[in-house]
Amino acid sequence: MSVIEQSIEVNVPDQVAYDQWTQFEDFPLFMEGIAEVTQLDDTHLHWIAEVAGKRKEWDAEITEQIPGKRIAWHSISGARNAGVVTFHHIDPSTSRIMLQLDYEPEGLVENAGDAIGVLSHRVKGDLERFKEFIESRGGATGAWRGQVDQGSHRVTTPRH
């Protein structure tokens, strides 16, 4: 597995950044190569992407979600990947997003791309486009405040 670690400061509160990140179906608006993300239920997502000129599909499971702080996942079918994104308070109007992605390149083209840092560059661009997206809006398009407990995958849905 290869590991990518990237971070970015965004000029919105950490809660706003987190709220937007929970809107997985909006990912194609700022993630290069992501054609579609479908949220199947509170902890399962179906991804469609174009990687090295090929269509890839996979399912991912959210293994931990701490409202306002952290989202962790791993793939359960298709392209092998796992990761965690965390949200850090810097000041009332600034936050830092830290992303760690573990993935397994498949085939000659993806391995060659991995060797020259293609995906790392793409992830950096995705974070920069997320920054532009959320800062230009000034607020999130939605929010999910449920919690997924690591290990048990128990979902606690917030009461309104």
Percent of the chain surpassing pLDDT 90: 62
- Per-residue pLDDT at 48: 95
Distances (CA, A) of 74 to 10, 28, 43, 89, 138: 25, 19, 11, 25, 30
Look at residue 156 in the predicted model and tell me its pLDDT.
Answer: 67
Give the pLDDT score at 108.
46
Instruction: Write down the pTM of the prediction.
Output: 0.86
What confidence score (pLDDT) does residue 159 get? 42
Query: How do residues 93-124 score in pLDDT, each as one tens digit?
Result: 999 999 999 987 565 444 444 444 467 788 89
Q: Which residues of the chain have pLDDT under 70?
A: 1, 105-118, 151-160
pLDDT of residue 53: 79
Contact 75, 90 (CB under 8 A): no
Q: What is the pLDDT of residue 144?
A: 85
List of residues 6+ apart from 84 with CB closer than 8 A: 64, 70, 71, 72, 73, 99, 100
Identify any residues that bridge with 51 across adjacent strands, giving them in sequence order: 54
